[in-house]
Amino acid sequence: MSKKVRLRFAPSPTGGLHLGGVRTVLYNYLFARRHGGDFILRIEDTDQSRYVEGAEQYILDCLSWCGLEPDEGPHKPGAHGPYRQSERKAQGLYQQYADQLIGDGHAYYAFDTPAELEEMRLKYKTAGNPSPQYNHDLRSKMKNSLSLEPAATQALLAAGTPYVIRIKVEPGQQVQFTDLIRGEVSFATDGVDDKVLLKADGMPTYHLAVVVDDYLMEITHAFRGEEWLPSAPVHILLWRHLFGEDKMPAWAHLPLILKPDGNGKLSKRDGDRLGFPVFAMNWTDPTTKETNKGFREMGFLPEAFLNLLAVLGWNDGTEQELYTLDELIEKFSLDRVHKGGAKFDFEKAKWFNHEWIRKVPVSRYKEQVVDMLQGLGVRPGLRPADPNIEVASPNMDKSAPDIDTPGQHINVASQNIASPSPNMDTADPDIDTASPNMDKSAPDMDTDEPDIDASDPNIDTPGQHINAPAPDIDKVLELVKDRCTLLTDFVQQTTYFFVAPGNDMDLSPVQPKWNAEKQLFFAELIRQLGFITQWEAPILEKEFKEMAAAAGIKPGDLLLPLRIMLVGGKYGPGVFDIAALLGRDQTVARIKHVLGLLPL
């Protein structure tokens, strides 16, 4: 391309940033970066009645979270400013071009009041024309500079009569352009109404402002949603009358993002109804104080959010699904953008997020997870604990059905995700031998036990923070990340590493089959754990299974009780991986605690 590529995203500061808007940003950004061009943010605040305080900063925050930083904008002025249309209006830019259109006979003053416009709609409404438009048929019947004598028009202007400026669309013409996605597109002007270009308050409408601004900002390509296609003929006529069609940017009208059932454009109401966000980030309406949840706050990584948006209407022709931003820049092209709308699938969106949680280093989201834990009163890696701090419930579902059964990997979110440890606590069905060595009647199991005291001040009281050295947060995240679909899932999957289960844990999964034999096994396990010199998951698993064989108990009958003891619920990664990270003191203390809660 001989001319430097320049693209813009031009949102209105009226509320939350819809995911369709973020996709438009993304496609603009990818195209600009691929072709060595500029990406510009322009704030279209021409409709002051809909302006919402804080919405502009919200848009900037959303782009920053996504990593789609503009090269120019209100926050980063360049040679083509100002970048807010209200500031450009103050410079008289739009009035100048509206006056030019009137002088050249391509626009006119219209003095109709709102009441007169409503009367027109009712008066000329027919079965064949249920919504009459202000067009070449009706403008002669209205109060404007085309239907009035020149002297009457001047008198109204001199008297300060409110007016708007409308484009004069001549009937019987064809207006066409080449869309970069849809190819040749043509419109008959007979069906195009005389759109308002300049409002009574002097603010331009979108139709005039977008043409003037794109010209003055030297925009070479304009990507927008297909809902703007009906406005294309008015914009082309304005380009023709003001600057010449050869100066027009190349247009691409992007396909809609559809509801999950494919019936219509995805809206905020659909998200509310179906239980998923449609905004990039949380948006709180300053008037109603209503908060609409965003993808960020729901626990999405920006990498996953951009990835899922990129493939909503585009693919590179291969089976690849996961793309980094650099890969998208390298591969993106408009000839692979679909013409038809793309159905939004929230389950697929969560799949993308799960894959990205696994793909990126845990350091990428560690701070965010720690913030969530601290918000619940959990302090990873800090000691000693303040016993006066109340630990909020992480909303753990202790009855979750997707928990491991003996000999099976834990199934989380029906993803068939394997445990990160190759030494998963699986039961060996062939081990069922009587115990030759274990004295089940021994009156004192602690005679040879090393000095491990569950009442030691360095061991946490159940339900309190751990005072002993807490597990390394990076290792914890690495261990559980395969089980997390959203960042918020880390709360349940990590809290028990830093807060021991309390007296209120649900022991119902264990109690029905609990007996003296198992009680003695775990008492002996406590003793044997004191002799292990290498505190590692494979060694712990080997010791555990050897003891189970010696006791004549199937390992599968002991794994769930051990999990409940360490975790407080039926979830989590391999139980020996958990024990390895908890450390000896915590593992022993938690086993002892539950043994005291289980009556024989």
pLDDT tens readout for residues 189-207: 999 999 999 999 999 999 9
Give me the mean pLDDT over the 401-423 stretch: 35
Same fold, 6-87+256-355 and 379-597: no
Q: Which of 299-308, 410-419, 553-562 has the lowest mean pLDDT?
A: 410-419
Band (pLDDT 50/70/90 cuts) for residue 457 is very low
pLDDT > 60? residue 132: yes
Per-residue pLDDT at 455: 41
Q: What is the mean pLDDT of residues 85-97?
A: 92
- What's the average model confidence in pLDDT over 402-428? 36
- Top pLDDT among 436 and 267 is at 267
Lowest mean pLDDT among 139-143, 307-311, 315-319, 439-443: 439-443
Q: Which residue has the tokens 């454009």?
A: 265
Centre a 10 Å sphere on the Cβ of residue 320 and count the other Cβ atoms it contains: 11
pLDDT of residue 464 exceeding 80, the answer is no
Mean local confidence (pLDDT), 324-344: 96
Per-residue pLDDT band at 351 (split at 50, 70, 90):
very high
Cβ atoms of 16 and 54 within 8 Å: the answer is no
SS3 417: coil
Mean pLDDT throughout 150-178? 97
3-state SS, residue 326:
helix
Q: How many CB atoms lie within 10 A of CB 191?
A: 12
Q: In a 10 Å sphere around its CB, with 0-12 CB exposed, 13-18 middle and 19+ buried, how is residue 161 labelled?
A: middle
How large a percentage of the chain has pLDDT more than 70? Answer: 85
Q: How far apart are the C-alpha atoms of 303 and 66, rounded to whole Å?
A: 7
Which among 502, 511, 577, 578 is positioned nearest to 538, based on CA atoms?
577
**Predicted pLDDT of residue 14:** 93
Higher pLDDT, residue 596 or 387: 596
DSSP classification of residue 311: T
Closest-CA residue to 480 (of 562, 582, 358): 358
Q: Which of 59-63, 149-153, 207-211, 405-409 has the lowest mean pLDDT?
A: 405-409
Task: Output the CA–CA distances (angstroms, integers) from residue 567 to 38, 461, 545, in the order listed.
Answer: 52, 14, 20
Which residues in 76-88 are b (16+ Cβ under 10 Å) and which e?
Answer: eeeebbbbbbeeb
Measured in Å, how far apart are the chain's first and last C-alpha atoms? 81
The pLDDT, as a whole number, for residue 425 is: 42
Residue 165 confidence (pLDDT) above 80: yes
pLDDT at 398 over 70: no
Confidence of residue 46 (pLDDT cuts 50, 70, 90): confident
Decide if pLDDT at 299 tops 70: yes
pLDDT at 17: 95
Residues written for the chain: 600
The pLDDT confidence band at residue 381, using thresholds 50, 70 and 90, is: low
CATH superfamily, region 6-87+256-355: HUPs (3.40.50.620)
Span 359-364, average pLDDT: 97
Those residues whose C-beta lies under 8 Å from the C-beta of residue 280, and which sit 6 or more positions away, are: 16, 17, 19, 22, 62, 65, 66, 294, 295, 296, 305
pTM above 0.85, yes or no: no
Average pLDDT over residues 281-291: 92
Cα torsion 228, 231, 235, 237: sign: positive
Q: How confident is the model at residue 396 (pLDDT cuts 50, 70, 90)?
A: very low
Kindly tell me if the per-residue pLDDT of 403 is higher than 50. no
**Residue 383 confidence (pLDDT) above 90:** no
Alpha-carbon gap, residue 31 to 28, rounded angstroms: 5
Mean pLDDT of the chain: 87
Residue 572 has pLDDT above 80, yes or no: yes
User: Over 80: is that where the pLDDT of 106 sits?
Assistant: yes
Stretch among 163-167, 397-401, 549-553 having the lowest mean pLDDT: 397-401
Q: Do residues 490 and 372 make contact, with C-beta atoms less than 8 angstroms apart?
A: yes
- In Å, what is the CA distance from 99 to each residue of 68, 166, 229? 37, 11, 26
Mean pLDDT calculated for residue range 512-527: 96
**Residue 161, C-beta contacts closer than 8 angstroms, at least 6 positions apart:** 111
> Rounded distance, CA 440 to CA 551, Å?
8
Parallel, antiparallel or unpaired: strands 38-41 and 6-9: parallel
Q: Tell me the chain's radius of gyration from C-alpha atoms.
A: 34
pLDDT of residue 295: 98
More reliable by pLDDT, 464 or 65: 65
CA 342 to chain centre: 17
Please report, for the chain, the start and end positions of each structural domain, with discontinuous segments joined by +: 6-87+256-355, 92-254, 379-597
- Per CATH, the number for 379-597 is 1.10.10.350
Judge contact between 434 and 587, C-beta under 8 A. no
In this predicted model, which residue has the larger pLDDT, 115 or 399?
A: 115
For range 412-441, the mean pLDDT = 36
- Average pLDDT rounded to a whole number, residues 487-512: 95
C-alpha 275/C-alpha 428 separation (Å) is 42
Q: What is the mean pLDDT of residues 494-516?
A: 94
CA distance 297 to 294: 5
pLDDT per residue over 248-264, tens digit each? 999 999 999 999 999 99
Beta carbons of 594 and 564 less than 8 angstroms apart: yes
User: Is residue 478 classed as helix, strand or coil in its secondary structure?
Assistant: helix
Region of poorest pLDDT, from 18-22, 50-54, 161-165, 581-585: 50-54
Q: How far apart are CA 546 and CA 540, in angstroms?
A: 10
CB 483 within 8 A of CB 496: no
Instruction: Examine the pLDDT at 440 and tell me if it is beyond 50.
Output: no
Provide the pLDDT for residue 78.
93
User: What angle, 0 to 180 degrees and rounded to 10, lies between the N-to-C axes of helices 93-103 and 232-242?
Assistant: 80
In the three-class reduction of DSSP (H, G, I as helix; E, B as strand; rest coil), residue 465 is classed as strand
| Separation of alpha carbons 31 and 4, rounded Å | 12
Whole-angstrom distance, CA of residue 492 vs CA of residue 152: 75
Which CATH superfamily groups domain 92-254?
Glutamyl-tRNA Synthetase; Domain 3 (3.90.800.10)
CA distances from 406 to 39, 481, 556, 562, 563 (A): 55, 22, 5, 12, 12
Strands (E), 126-189: 164-167, 174-179, 183-188
Bridge pairing between strands 283-284 and 107-110? unpaired
Spacing of C-alpha 286 from chain mean position: 21
